[in-house]
């Protein structure tokens, strides 16, 4: 879970998700924060697997911490490893909007 006060960015960008149990697939990055991300996936992703998100020349590794099926696929939450925490300076998703600015 994101630290209190850490910015969360809403976005919509295709990224590659590779999990320990299979091949990489294109998924939609919906939200990102310092220690995690929310993804929309067409295929089910198993809870607890190790995973890597790749986008442009950035990579974030961690684990799948929540999976929920919904009408159009699967909503997947990934928690990043402390070694690959995200910052807007490290990688900026296209169409990134600070969620706090929408309030």
Q: Which residue in 60, 37, 65, 33 sits closest to 49, CA to CA?
A: 65
For the stretch 47-102, pLDDT in tens is 999 999 999 999 999 999 999 999 999 999 999 999 999 998 999 998 888 877 66
Residue 69: the pLDDT is 97
Residue 98: the pLDDT is 80
Residue ranges of domains in the chain:
10-82
Cα 86 versus chain centre, distance: 10
Lowest mean pLDDT segment, chosen from 10-14, 34-38, 83-87, 99-103 = 99-103
Domain 10-82: homologous superfamily in CATH: predicted glycosyltransferase like domains (2.40.10.220)
- CA–CA separation, 73 and 40 (whole Å): 7
């Amino acid at each position: 879970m994101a630290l209190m006060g850490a910015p969360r960015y809403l976005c919509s960008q295709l990224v590659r998700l590779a999990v320990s149990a299979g091949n990489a697939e294109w998924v939609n990055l919906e939200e990102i924060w310092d220690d995690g991300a929310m993804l929309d996936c067409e295929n089910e992703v198993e809870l607890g697997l190790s995973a890597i998100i790749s986008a442009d020349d950035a990579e974030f590794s961690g684990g799948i911490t929540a999976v929920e099926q919904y009408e159009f696929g699967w909503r997947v939450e990934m928690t990043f490893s402390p070694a690959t925490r995200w910052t807007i300076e490290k990688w900026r998703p296209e169409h990134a909007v600070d969620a706090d600015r929408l309030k």
